[in-house]
Structure 1
Amino acid sequence: MLGLKRTKRGCQTKMIARVLLLHAVLVGQVYGNWDIDARIVQGSNADLGEALQFLKEYDAEASDMCFRVSTAQWKYATNMTEANKRKMMEEQALKAKFDKLTWRKAITFDWTRIPDVEVKRQLRMLTTNTRASLTDDKFNELHQLISEMKEIYAHVRVCPYAFNGEKPMFCDLELSDVQKIMASSRSHFELLHIWKEWHDKVGTPMKNRFIRYIQLTNQAARINGFLDAGEEMRFAYEDRDFDNDLAISLQKIQPLYKELLAYVRRKLIDTYGPKVVRPEGSLPAHILGNIWAQDWSNIPDIVLPYANFRNFDVTGEMLKQGFTPLQMFQMAEEFFTSLGLKPMPPEFWRHSMLEKPNGRRVQCTASAWDFCNRVDFRIKQCTEVDMKNLITVHHEMAHIQYYMYYADLPHLYRDGANPGFHEGVANAVILSVFNPVHFRRVGLFENNTDLYELNINFLMLMALRKVAYAPFAYIIDQWRYELSESGTTKMNSLWWDLRQTNQGIVPPVPRTDYHLDAASKRHIPADVPYTKYYVALLLEFQIHEAMCRAARFEGPLHECDVYRSREAGRVLIDILRNGKSRHWRDVIRALTRGETDKISPDSMLRYFDPLLRWLKSQNRRERVIGWTTFKEDKALFEPLVLSGARRSVRSIFIVFVFAITVTYNSLE
């Protein structure tokens, strides 16, 4: 059916010509009242039997291809040799060819006239959110561009800050070093230097490649029947109102976010002074403990309210009790079996990489793996004995539970109900695990969990991770959508305008459209959609609340721990076993007992309600809750205005004065 050797070049050319002709017919309808479904490229074959046979053969071959690629990727990730890398690239290239052949066969069907609902849905899934519609040369060019951008990102090295004023001998700091400095340093000058070094050296070298990448993804989307790549990305959620619903959800979160920002700003001013942090204004991106300012969880020493109730870290107790990496995984397994979920299969314990091996290079980033053969599931993690790794173990094992429960579904349905569900489920589990109440129940925390100060500190720490992250997670794909729709002429100024408007964050030094600061986040050059992380953020609280309700928990939502609740486990199992076979709205409707079928921030807001009330009392004397948009801040990233041959002297002056101010402050 899809055997790679059977395809003839002439058939490929005719098929592409047919697609382009059909697209030309459809494009005239794009701006009318047609539904997107009517625009998606499709053929004339409405034979249900042939469609069923095609999907049956696809299911077997796609599962086999997934196993081959996953196996090659695993071998390279756990033993980074050149031979393993070549094998992985060969398998990935074969997978790309397989995807193109699948698409070419799928578009011969007119799925709108096929009576079987499941067949229609699966055919539509195979013909959208794919670049297989591109000609071979452009398809290969796109993959090469992404590969090159990822290589640029991986090999960026920056210079350390010279505290003594001397030029450093080596500029060899990689991303992990950058992250550690941004998290731990409290020197404004060092943070400013590292921030600028990283953003200057990452985005600019890949800017032209990224522009071409946008052009090619748009071409693929338009051949598929979409207006642009952004519309096709949103189509993955199978909901015409999805984008509007997300915008409304962020508006609901904003009051809590603005209270948090106002409180954090005051604490930052106390630490760095008003020359670094503008009173009532946006926050400079370099002093929030994270190179992307995506969350603020690394500055608890600056912002946690009650110093005597600060320590939630159970690492010391884990070491005292003699924990090993294996025991950490066994503890996570016991958490899930206490809910009535499945134990890890023998293959998991036999094949997983639970510790960093000696004598070979490995990728240590923790990840869960599904080898698509319904029996082999693994975790790769260089586990160290500390609280952070313990939480990560539970998170990754939640992904394994998802894999195991939907393993018997067709290949196309072996995924989360929408792109955000996998992370949403895993994070919902962590709301019970990273919890003083849970740590006390499992013998890792001895303090009184009812203390008001401890609970406010805990909620503040969670808000720095979750609430601060919300607008950042939202705007990344909004930026990509805008580029796909309106072009790439002002990429950097658009990026910072979105960040200031939605996040209250500005660059610490002037930026121009020569830069590409969004590319400092790996998901941008690596072609990874990001909306799923915002969706997951909302989902984790919805799922957590539903599980707590099933467990008959009464009390503040942040104190709920569903450990040992079979009732809560049944709620989770109902999500896991359906995979992608049901529309995600149906899954949420069942999750909330019919109260809603939307992804909602309401559960998240209930979780943080005690903190919101505390923040309002702390901020009662603040003149501005949120941030004021100052012209000086806008001038940091807006392109200079041209009027004939004259530049806006005022804009130049503002940027010049700010640059002089930054230089002067760094010398004090």
Structure 2
Amino acid sequence: MMKFELLYLVLLGVFTFCKCNPAPLNAKELEARNFVENATTRMHTLYEQTRLLNYQLENIEPWELTTKYEELKVLINAIADLVRESKKFDSSQFQDDELKYILELIGQEADEAILGSWWVEKILEAVNAVEAMPFRRNIVKFQNKKVKLTYVPDVQKIIAYTNNTMELKYYWKQWREINSETVLRSIIRITDGILEAAKASDVQPMDFWMKRFNLTQMERIMNETRPLYMQLHAFIRNQLNKKYGDSVIKPNGIIPDHLFRQVIAQTWTNASIIEDAFPLAQLPPYEKILKQKHYDATELYKTADEFYKSLGFDSLPENFWGSQIKMSKNKDEGDCKPSFFDVTSNVFMFFCQKMDFRTFLQAHRYMGQMYYAREKVGLPPYYSSAHNMEAAVGEAGILSASTLSHLKTIGLLNDFEINKNVEFNRLLRMGFHTLLSIPQQFVHTKVLADFFAGKVELGLLNKHYWKLMDQYLGVGPPMNRLSDTYDFPEKFYLEINENREATKFNTEIFGYQFYKKLCQISGKYSSGDLHKCDFYGSKDVGDSLKKMMKLGSSKRLNKLLEVMFPENPTMSSEGLLEYYSPIKSWLVEKNQEADVKLGWTPSNKKVKRVILDSGEEYDDE
């Protein structure tokens, strides 16, 4: 199915009515104001059409998609026309600061829609193609050519439990080779589309790609978190060396990517490299408990709803459940996310049918987004986004709701004994997942940012990728590679046209930042035990959040952050580092006991450029 999320994302940049600064205007400013005001009726109509279309998409039959897609193209072209019209205004000399800011927001939110429906269709087709790759049954099973597997979930399950490094390397290589043509075509189409959209927006490609994010700030976060990551890298490498030997992983070298992927896949399994010290069996049997308590997908979201009501948010209207919040017909059991629409006052969410503990936690994020949307519902649409702080606040909610003390409070762990070992076991596994994901998200962002900045050509992107992976993660390819292929993992391609990995990076860092602040506001903060804080039930937390939520994006990000962080209104790694400070202390001790050296020697695997005239080839090691 064609993805439609872009439709309402681009609509965030279009507008209804604005009460602009009444200061005297020059002719151009007056024209710009009239442009904004005269678009009101037209845009209200487009918003409502968009809302209805997105709502209907969850309930229509497959044969109706063609008609709905034609409706989508009409809306995209109408939006593109308005965005292009807005680009004729040079606001650099305007006196009306609010008007300048509104036009800036419109330009930032335009995305590919400025090119019209043909380009959007081609770009989304390319995105759909790469996102579908993990689910194709085209991978020949290791040592059994008669069986074919999907990467997700078939191969992922194998990766999580096999001890055969040759099998790991086999699947790592085959998935990338099978999909190489799809990736090449799609990457070219997507990057061409972004370059064209940047040109149409009269913006440098790098600025267009990073318009919602600050790469310099992200780089600073990487430097601040590096000492902790270095300790984690050294510990993981030593454990893998003990498990697989010097012939597979060098004591002071990089971690081969196929082993790195396995460490991540095994985080919440009993095959993890920490299993001997902290058995998975020590942790609560979350899935079993949810089933015993007769939870279903709806109950997960209603439990999350109670979390936010405990903070003092007004209850959702009775007609929301089963109407504006309801279960999707989609039976996808993968890592599906709810369909969410919060551009107009007619907010709605269709959530997945999946019922497990991960979905239980994710429900707290999405219900946080629902309450955020209701707080900013009176804002004009060009202020309806909140600089992506909705997701960060939702992540803070997850951190609070995932604490063992909170689960005990709401009755899920009544019969389970919590002790220090259980607490640390949970924290360590969370740390593996988070601290290994963040630097990857940064590299995935930077590799394309460097391309759009003109620092690397598309034919050398793979070589640049492995250079960054070596530099920031101490991870290298398991074999020699070519520079005109693409070795990115499957998550790199998710919503790639929207720079999802930068979004994930910022959401993670801001999530811990909000969590610490909300814990302090609640009075439940304890230095050294941040990971145990549950701000459930704190009306002070709710009051503080409402003050920020009501602003939407009516203030620039640094001004919005001043509401919660007056002492330092910028992205900070302080919350994340404090949260995982017990892990760092433990890692330092373990690395010193094992006499493990920090850092790594560069990979000895080569990433060479293909010389077509000579047909250069070389063997894998």
TM bucket (normalised to shorter chain) is 0.7 to 0.9
Query: Does the 8 Å contact 1:150/1:526 carry over to 2?
Result: no
TM-score (norm 1): 0.80
Query: Does the 8 Å contact 1:340/1:569 carry over to 2?
Result: yes
- Given candidates 511, 534, 546, the residue that maps to 1:573 is 546
Match of 1:96 in 2: 76
Query: Does the 8 Å contact 2:463/2:608 carry over to 1?
Result: yes
1: distance between equivalents of 2:401 and 2:125?
37
Question: What are the Cα deviations for residues 503-541 of structure 1, in whole angstroms up to 9, with x where unaligned?
Answer: 222222332123122374353674121212111111011
Query: Does the 8 Å contact 1:325/1:354 carry over to 2?
Result: no
2: distance between equivalents of 1:80 and 1:564?
43
Structure 1 residue 412, shift from structure 2 partner? 1.3
Match of 1:378 in 2: 349
Where do 1:219-258 residues align within 5 Å? 219-227=196-204, 229-237=205-213, 242-258=214-230
- Given candidates 155, 162, 169, the residue that maps to 1:192 is 169
RMSD (CA atoms)? 3.2
What amino acid is aligned across from residue 234 of structure 1 in structure 2? M
Whether 1:401 aligns to 2:382 is no
2: distance between equivalents of 1:333 and 1:150?
32
Match of 2:508 in 1: 537
Match of 1:11 in 2: none
SS in 2 for 1:167: strand
Match of 1:214 in 2: 191
1: distance between equivalents of 2:280 and 2:172?
32
Query: Does the 8 Å contact 1:288/1:299 carry over to 2?
Result: no
Match of 1:68 in 2: 49
User: Structure 1's 142 and 524: CA in aligned 2 closer, same or farther, altered over 3 A?
Assistant: same
Query: Does the 8 Å contact 1:333/1:397 carry over to 2?
Result: yes
Structure 1 residue 380, shift from structure 2 partner? 1.9
Match of 2:322 in 1: 350
2: distance between equivalents of 1:645 and 1:204?
21
Question: What are the Cα deviations for residues 591-628 of structure 1, in whole angstroms up to 9, with x where unaligned?
Answer: 12x21011010111111111111110011145555441
User: Structure 1's 311 and 63: CA in aligned 2 closer, same or farther, altered over 3 A?
Assistant: farther
Where do 1:255-274 residues align within 5 Å? 255-274=227-246
1: distance between equivalents of 2:66 and 2:598?
51
Match of 1:154 in 2: 132
1: distance between equivalents of 2:156 and 2:603?
31
Match of 1:114 in 2: 94
What amino acid is aligned across from residue 230 of structure 1 in structure 2? M
User: Structure 1's 314 and 209: CA in aligned 2 closer, same or farther, altered over 3 A?
Assistant: closer
User: Structure 1's 126 and 627: CA in aligned 2 closer, same or farther, altered over 3 A?
Assistant: same
2: distance between equivalents of 1:374 and 1:390?
26
User: Structure 1's 266 and 364: CA in aligned 2 closer, same or farther, altered over 3 A?
Assistant: closer
2: distance between equivalents of 1:265 and 1:595?
39
SS in 2 for 1:595: coil
Question: What are the Cα deviations for residues 570-604 of structure 1, in whole angstroms up to 9, with x where unaligned?
Answer: 22222322111111212222212x21011010111
Query: Does the 8 Å contact 2:114/2:197 carry over to 1?
Result: yes
Question: What are the Cα deviations for residues 164-222 of structure 1, in whole angstroms up to 9, with x where unaligned?
Answer: x33124x3525343444434444434333332222223343331442354244224324
SS in 2 for 1:489: helix
What amino acid is aligned across from residue 71 of structure 2 in structure 1? E
Where do 1:13-28 residues align within 5 Å? none
Match of 1:584 in 2: 557
What amino acid is aligned across from residue 112 of structure 1 in structure 2? S
User: Structure 1's 135 and 303: CA in aligned 2 closer, same or farther, altered over 3 A?
Assistant: closer
Where do 1:414-563 residues align within 5 Å? 414-416=384-386, 418-419=387-388, 421-445=389-413, 446-449=415-418, 451-484=419-452, 485-486=454-455, 487-518=457-488, 520-521=490-491, 523=493, 526-529=496-499, 530-555=501-526, 556-563=529-536
- Given candidates 332, 337, 350, the residue that maps to 1:366 is 337
Query: Does the 8 Å contact 2:58/2:328 carry over to 1?
Result: no
User: Structure 1's 112 and 71: CA in aligned 2 closer, same or farther, altered over 3 A?
Assistant: same
Question: What are the Cα deviations for residues 265-292 of structure 1, in whole angstroms up to 9, with x where unaligned?
Answer: 22223333333333222222223456xx
2: distance between equivalents of 1:61 and 1:477?
36
TM-score (norm 2): 0.86
Match of 1:144 in 2: 122
What amino acid is aligned across from residue 422 of structure 2 in structure 1? L
SS in 2 for 1:168: strand
User: Structure 1's 57 and 313: CA in aligned 2 closer, same or farther, altered over 3 A?
Assistant: farther
Structure 1 runs not aligned, ≥5 long? 1-43, 661-668
Which 10-residue stretch deviates more, 560-569 or 510-519? 510-519
Query: Does the 8 Å contact 2:159/2:265 carry over to 1?
Result: no
Query: Does the 8 Å contact 1:353/1:382 carry over to 2?
Result: no
2: distance between equivalents of 1:100 and 1:231?
20
SS in 1 for 2:459: coil
Structure 1 residue 80, shift from structure 2 partner? 5.4
What amino acid is aligned across from residue 580 of structure 2 in structure 1? F
Question: What are the Cα deviations for residues 105-159 of structure 1, in whole angstroms up to 9, with x where unaligned?
Answer: 21232323333222111112223453569776xx724641441342354256244
Match of 1:606 in 2: 578
User: Structure 1's 232 and 500: CA in aligned 2 closer, same or farther, altered over 3 A?
Assistant: same
2: distance between equivalents of 1:459 and 1:357?
35
Question: What are the Cα deviations for residues 314-359 of structure 1, in whole angstroms up to 9, with x where unaligned?
Answer: 222222222233332221111110001132333431225755659x
Which 10-residue stretch deviates more, 148-157 or 612-621? 148-157
Whether 1:564 aligns to 2:537 is yes
What amino acid is aligned across from residue 150 of structure 1 in structure 2? N
Match of 1:596 in 2: 568
User: Structure 1's 501 and 363: CA in aligned 2 closer, same or farther, altered over 3 A?
Assistant: closer
What amino acid is aligned across from residue 194 of structure 2 in structure 1? T
What amino acid is aligned across from residue 609 of structure 1 in structure 2? S
2: distance between equivalents of 1:472 and 1:49?
47
Paired residues in the alignment total 588
SS in 2 for 1:261: helix
User: Structure 1's 46 and 204: CA in aligned 2 closer, same or farther, altered over 3 A?
Assistant: farther
User: Structure 1's 133 and 399: CA in aligned 2 closer, same or farther, altered over 3 A?
Assistant: closer
Query: Does the 8 Å contact 2:140/2:149 carry over to 1?
Result: no
User: Structure 1's 248 and 189: CA in aligned 2 closer, same or farther, altered over 3 A?
Assistant: same
Match of 1:5 in 2: none
Query: Does the 8 Å contact 1:46/1:109 carry over to 2?
Result: no
Match of 1:388 in 2: 358
User: Structure 1's 131 and 544: CA in aligned 2 closer, same or farther, altered over 3 A?
Assistant: closer
2: distance between equivalents of 1:547 and 1:406?
20
SS in 1 for 2:289: helix
Match of 2:3 in 1: none
What amino acid is aligned across from residue 480 of structure 2 in structure 1? P
Q: Percent identity over the alignment?
A: 19
2: distance between equivalents of 1:547 and 1:123?
33
